[in-house]
């Protein structure tokens, strides 16, 4: 019986800022099996970075919260779910507005969701105050005509 997804990976780490690069690189490495362009890979890395940074800064008051990432590949699309069990977002529509930030004292630009909406094909935000937030992003990877041998299809 074939799995619903062609491939899947799960990652869990503490909400420390030093883990943002780890998350970004890990998801990019996973997405690389679709052979994305440099621009597509950059879009994925930037989007993961923005969402993980949001979780680190806004979800928890201490660095011992947990952030989870589930990345899936189905056909030519990478699906990335990033979730936390932190504070949640009180007003999702307000949080989506460019330049809005709930922590102005940190001199953040408030452009995270705007950036992700521009770099990814889909962005879904689910949040319950006091229970946490789950962000789901999708990116379709363009298929460039390539000769594929049977050995090249080991992972997909």
- Is 96 catalytic? The answer is no
Among residues 7, 108, 117, 126, which one is catalytic?
108
- Cα(32)–Cα(125) distance, integer angstroms: 25
118 Cβ partners below 8 Å, 6+ apart? none
- Cα(88)–Cα(79) distance, integer angstroms: 21
Angle between helices 112-119 and 38-54 (to 10 degrees): 150
- Is 50 catalytic? The answer is yes
Among residues 54, 81, 118, 153, which one is catalytic?
54
Among residues 50, 105, 107, 118, which one is catalytic?
50
Nearest CA-CA partner of 86 in 111, 61, 107: 61
Could you list the active site residues? 50, 54, 108
């Amino acid at each position: 019986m074939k799995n619903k997804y062609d491939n899947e990976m799960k990652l869990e780490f503490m909400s420390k800022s030093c883990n943002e690069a780890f998350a970004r690189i890990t998801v990019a490495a996973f997405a690389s099996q679709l052979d994305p362009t440099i621009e597509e890979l950059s879009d994925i890395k930037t989007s993961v970075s923005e969402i993980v940074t949001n979780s680190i800064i806004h979800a928890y008051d201490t660095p011992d919260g947990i952030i989870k990432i589930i990345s899936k590949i189905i056909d030519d699309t990478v699906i990335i779910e990033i979730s936390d069990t932190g504070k949640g977002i009180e007003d999702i529509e307000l949080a989506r507005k460019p330049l809005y930030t709930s922590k102005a004292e940190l001199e953040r630009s408030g452009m995270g969701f705007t950036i992700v909406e521009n770099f990814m094909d889909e962005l879904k935000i689910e949040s319950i105050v006091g229970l946490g937030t789950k962000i789901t992003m999708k990116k379709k990877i363009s298929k460039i005509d390539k000769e594929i041998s049977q050995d090249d299809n080991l992972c997909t």
